Structure formats: structure tokens, C-alpha cells
Amino acid sequence: MAAPGAFYITTPIYYVNDVPHIGHAYTSLACDVMARFHRLDGKRVMFLTGTDEHGQKVEKSAQAAGMDPQAFCDRVSQNFRDLSGLMGYSNDDFIRTTEDRHVRACQALWRAVVAAGNDDIYLGKYAGWYSVRDEAFYGEDELVDSPAGKRAPSGAPVEWVEEPSYFFRLSAWQDRLLAFYDANPDFILPPARRNEVVSFVKSGLRDLSISRTSFRWGIPVPDAPSHIMYVWFDALTNYITAVGYPDMAGAAFSTFWPATHIVGKDILRFHAVYWPAFLMAAGVAPPARVFAHGWWTVEGQKMSKSLGNFIPPHDLVAKYGLDPVRYFVLRELPFGADGDFSHRAVVNRLNGDLANDLGNLVQRVLSFIAKNGSGQVPNPSELAPEDEKLLAASAALHATTRARIDRQELHTALEEIWRVIGDANRYVDAQAPWTLRKTDPARMATVLYALTDAIRRVAIVLQPFMPTAAGRILDQLAVPTGAARQLEAMGGAPKLVPGTALPQPEGVFPRYVEAAA
Ligand code: ME8
């Protein structure tokens, strides 16, 4: 069990055969939001990402680039490290599977399965289909015919492989896995994905080949160096390497394990079936959660090299700015569902939700105060029920967003926040402080005070999603950094101190205007 108040979140480790695109950026971004949310909520957080560097796919890519595999990995891994800087990820560690600490952990995990004495690893011979692109074995019954020959269900080409191989006795784990899913109904989310995994496991599990002998780019199997580990046995282990495995009594492991794994739906089976079985076979606790999100297409089409529609995150950030990109991808798709990335959809969100709803709220309130309220936090008199209502709705965002984020519902967390932004905009219209200025200045000050405090709370809870923009709003409200920006500070009585000088307001979300052709 992880220590109370600790939270461990992981992205998949990305293959170094490619440059990062919006799909990779998406998964890591979602993890970043959760990591930041929990940190602001007072938890100790470990957020891990990294690169998956072994296996035939990477070896072939290195060959194609005419490079030594390690030098190739060093170069491509750096692209993923750079992505962290570009997207503002707050990862605490970046793991590479070619690091020594990882080789040690993989060999220790292998040995632990053997040492458990249940014969879960045995030597045999693999004869069957393999897809290098998916790094996965397929049964004949899973293949689909295509004009180009047999294909994996993912559409990837397959080849026939025959070689000596160690196997993991997955067939013996069916009942234990089903019992585990039963006892932990939220282990796999969203629920539809859980149902898919449960029926896959119920349909019967085949033993899994976990070593290869026909190429060399991998981690040697302990005591059998002619074998290298199957890349997924190696890759999945990264999640425990990073918390110090095999030192399970160590501070990192005992504080943080088990983790919440966020993955794309393409790799759910590896995480929700094979991984808990490997761990349980080695006497290690299975992960806390595997959440599988959906798939992005671009302008209605699958992202692919041949279509040339890979979207480099760098181009998006250059075009729209980092915070709008972060907001768009997390708001546009219900986290878990598939969706489409289109320029028009980004502009709609940017000009609608960000410029019109949030930007305009902040701008109209703060510039009104600058012009009519001497540029200070206004001094309220007694609060009316409608003021209390707005303040209560904004304070409640702490609990409601936490409940959503605990289930990885990032889009509904944003919906809750935007509901309050809508309430606040309607409140401005209904209270009409510009009219009160002439008729009842004391009431005007109260209304503006309620608004600034509601905006403060909205900005606090928006920090995980849009760290820079939310920070700028808090700066404009003169909220000090540190404890006053933790989620805890959203609760209870209003916290802004009347009379505090406010800086000159400036717009946070400019409208996106298409450059003239
Ligand atoms: O599978 N839409 O690495 P990978 C949404 N190394 N997400 C997408 C996406 C898209 N169009 N394309 C990619 C591997 N992703 C293994 C993982 S983990 C122990 C080993 C994201 O480089 C999504 O998270 O192929 C998907 O699961 C991941 O990238 C696959 O990355």
C-alpha cells in the first residue's frame, strides 16, 4: 500500500522509433494535470514518464537510420525529454529502459518470478505470428486477411517466428486475474474498457512468450544470456524501477507503489492483464489503476506518416500558445473516448471557452475595478444571498473537481469549472455593477468583491490545467505564491484582503484571429 497522502502516476514509456506527436503529448498532458492537481491538493506526488528503448522495432529503426542502437536511442529519447519542456510537464523522473537501474530491476523481477517456485516461467519454443510494429504475438485466429496478406487486428504486418523462448504461464492466472478485477472494480477505467478486459480474460489466456533469441537489442535473461527479454516484460517493469525496485522496503517504493497508469486503449491489455500477472507472480502488489484513454484522429483521418498529418506538438504550441493547447485537448474529448483534432475545433474552444467565457469574465471585472474602484481589492459590506451562492459554488469546486479527477474524468472537472464561470458571467450581468456605481456604490463594491473572490477560486483550481494563465490571473489578484494558491485555500471564508493594491489588469486570453492568407 502506498503511504497515505502519496500519489504515483505514470505515462506509457514511448518507443524511440519516432518523433513525438500530439497523441504522445496528450497522454503525458493528462498525467501532468493529475500530478499537479494532487500536489496542489497537498499530496506527495511522483509523476513518471520516459522512453522504451529495446526490442526489434527500435533496433530496426536504428538500422534504418544507419546508427548504433544506443546512439539512436540517445538521440530520439532526447526528443521526448524536450517535449516535457515544451508542454510544461512537471514529471519528477524520466526513465530510459537502457539505464542500469532498469536492467537490474528487470532481472530482479524475472528472478523473483522464478524464485516464487510456481513454475510460472518455463523454457519452450515459440512458433507463431509476431508483429514488430505492435511488438506483440498473435494467434492465427486473431489475424485478419488483407490484400497485402495477413495482418494483426491493429492492421500491422505480421511475420512467422520460430525460436527457443521462455514462456510466462499466463494460462494459470485467469481465475486469479478475474478475482482481482472483481475485488477491485475500479482497477480498470473507464468501465467499458474494464468489461472488454474481463471478457478477454474469461475467454481463456494463452501462455506468453517472454524472451527472444533471434536478435540482441534487449536485456539478457538472468542465467540464460542467449535470450533477451520480450520488450513488454522489460518495458512494463519501468514503473517499479523508478521507485527503486527491487528495494521494496526503500522509501520510494513504500511511499509510492502502487501506481495509477494512464495509457492509450491500444496498450490496455499489456497493462491490465500481463502486468498484474507478472507482478503477482513475483510477489509484488499489482498497480492501483489502469485508465485507458481514446484515440485522436486529425481532421477526420488516422494520424500516419504516409498521410503526412502527424501533428508535432511544437507547431501547435507555436500557433495557439501552450495553455490553450493544454485546455483544448483535455476539454474537447471526454477522457476515455476517441475524438478528432481539427483546427476549427481548437479555434472554437479558444475563442469561446477561453476568450469569451473566462477571459472576458476576468477582464471585465478587473478592468472595471481598475477604472472605478481605485485599483484595489474592493471593500465589501454584508453579502446578499446571491453573493453567497456564487461564492459557495466556486468554493465547492475543490471537492467536485477532486471527485472527478480521482476517476480521471478531466473533461467533467473542466465542465464543473466552466459552470461556475458561466454563473459568474450571469451574476455580473444580473448585478450590473456599472449601474450600481451611480445608485449604490457600497453594493457595487460587494458585488465586485464576490466576483474577485470567485475568480480567485476558479484560477486556483485551473492551475493544473493551465498553469501559466491561471498563475497570471492569480498575479492580477495579488494572491501570493505558496499556500494561498493551494486548493485548500479555496475553502471557507473569502480570502482576498480588501484594500490590497491590484496590478494593472491585462488580457489573459486574446481571441485567435486567423492570419490573412
Ligand atoms: O506503445 N491518440 O509506445 P508508443 C491518442 N512503448 N494517444 C496516442 C495516439 C493517438 N493517435 N498515438 C499514440 C508503446 N498515443 C510502448 C508503451 S508502456 C510500458 C510501453 C499515445 O510510443 C497513447 O498513450 O507506441 C498510446 O498508448 C501511446 O502513445 C503509445 O506509444
The per-residue pLDDT for range 34-65, each reduced to its tens digit, is: 999 999 999 999 999 999 999 999 999 999 99
- Cβ of 80 closer than 6 Å to ligand 1, yes or no, is no
Residues 49 and 193 grouped into a single domain:
yes
CA 49 to centroid of ligand 1, rounded, Å: 12
Residues 406 and 285 grouped into a single domain:
no
Please state which of the ranges 18-22, 140-144, 327-331 shows the lowest mean pLDDT: 18-22
Angle made by CA atoms 257, 263, 267, in degrees to the nearest 5: 110
Residues 259 and 120 grouped into a single domain:
yes
> Among the atoms of ligand 1, which is closest to the Cα of residue 296?
2
The per-residue pLDDT for range 433-482, each reduced to its tens digit, is: 999 999 999 999 999 999 999 999 999 999 999 999 999 999 999 999 99
Supply the pLDDT for residue 156. Answer: 92
- Stretch 97-121: mean pLDDT, rounded? 98
Q: How many independent structural domains does the chain possess?
A: 2
Q: What is the mean pLDDT of the chain?
A: 95
Q: Evaluate if residue 516 carries a pLDDT over 80.
A: no
The Cα–Cα gap between 31 and 35 comes to: 6
The Cα–Cα gap between 197 and 204 comes to: 11
Residues 209 and 289 grouped into a single domain:
yes
Give me 32's grid cell.
501532468
- Stretch 341-365: mean pLDDT, rounded? 96
Give me 189's grid cell.
477505467
Per the domain annotation, does 509 fall within a domain? no
- For atom 18 of ligand 1, the residue with the nearest CA is 12
Q: What is the CATH number of the domain that holds 414?
A: 1.10.730.10
Supply the pLDDT for residue 15. Answer: 93
The per-residue pLDDT for range 159-189, each reduced to its tens digit, is: 999 999 999 999 999 999 999 999 999 999 9
The per-residue pLDDT for range 176-227, each reduced to its tens digit, is: 999 999 999 999 999 999 999 999 999 999 999 999 999 899 999 999 999 9
CB 125 within 8 A of CB 162: yes
Helices (H), 373-408: 385-406
The per-residue pLDDT for range 119-139, each reduced to its tens digit, is: 999 999 999 999 999 999 999
Residues 144 and 48 grouped into a single domain:
yes
The per-residue pLDDT for range 234-287, each reduced to its tens digit, is: 999 999 999 999 999 999 999 999 999 999 999 999 999 999 999 999 999 999
CB 9 within 8 A of CB 27: no
Q: What distances in angstroms separate CA 116 from CA 110, 221, 270, 285, 373, one per listed residue?
A: 10, 17, 22, 14, 72
Residues 276 and 364 grouped into a single domain:
no
Listing DSSP states for 470-516 in one string gives: HHHHHHHTTPPSSGGGSGGGGSSS----TT-B-PPP--SSPPP-PPP
Helices (H), 19-148: 22-40, 56-64, 69-87, 100-115
Q: What distances in angstroms separate CA 190 from CA 17, 195, 225, 401, one per listed residue?
A: 29, 9, 40, 17
Supply the pLDDT for residue 517. Answer: 52
Q: Which residues pair with 201 in a beta bridge?
A: none
Domain boundary, last residue among 236, 268, 294 = 294
Cis amide leading into 246 (omega within 30)? yes
Residues 163 and 74 grouped into a single domain:
yes
The per-residue pLDDT for range 296-307, each reduced to its tens digit, is: 999 888 887 777
- Cβ of 354 closer than 6 Å to ligand 1, yes or no, is no
- Beta strands, E only, 324-456: 339-341
Residues 84 and 222 grouped into a single domain:
yes
Residues 287 and 422 grouped into a single domain:
no
CA 386 to centroid of ligand 1, rounded, Å: 47
- Stretch 25-35: mean pLDDT, rounded? 98
Mutate-to-test residue for ligand 1 from 16, 26, 335, highest number of ligand atoms within 8 A of CB: 26
- Cβ of 27 closer than 6 Å to ligand 1, yes or no, is yes
Q: Domain containing 410: what range?
A: 343-490
- For atom 3 of ligand 1, the residue with the nearest CA is 14
- Cβ of 295 closer than 6 Å to ligand 1, yes or no, is yes
Per the domain annotation, does 460 fall within a domain? yes
The Cα–Cα gap between 469 and 414 comes to: 15
Which residue do the cell numbers 492501483 mark?
Answer: 288
